[in-house]
Amino acid sequence: MSKSFDATTKTFRDYTAEEQADYDARMKIYNDNIVPKKLEAVKKLRLEKLIETDYLANSDVTMPDNVKTWRQTLRDLPANHTNEAAYDALLARDSDGNLTNSVWSKP
């Protein structure tokens, strides 16, 4: 049973049945969206990494082959990672907040 705190009366109480049903319905939506949101986060990171090396696609510079390969790997991430565990592995970070999956490291 979920709980509510009334800051005016400084009292806790359990949710009513109606509140609990409303909460449960929203939690179902939340849980249904967890995996899509993780994929969204992967795509956001991928876009950031691609943008960092977009300048190498300019006509006056030559993009190294290993960067080309890395960029293609990034583009293929959603196709090659299709479940929550795979997304978690891509989004993993160390205690300092740095991404730990090597796929994000530019060669």
Q: Pick the closest to residue 82 from 41, 35, 46, 13 (CA basis).
A: 35
Sign of CA dihedral 52, 58, 61, 66: positive
For position 102 contacting another protein by CB under 8 A, the verdict is no
CB of 70 to another protein, least distance (A): 16
CB 3 within 8 A of CB 12: yes
Q: Looking at beta carbons only, is 59 or 98 nearer to another protein?
A: 98
- Maximum pairwise Cα distance, the chain: 69
The residue from 40, 54, 76, 84 that contacts another protein (CB under 8 A) is 40
**Residues of the shown chain interacting with another protein in the complex, contacts defined by CB under 8 A:** 2-9, 12, 15, 19, 22-23, 26-27, 30, 34, 37-38, 40-41, 44, 48, 52, 91, 93, 95-99
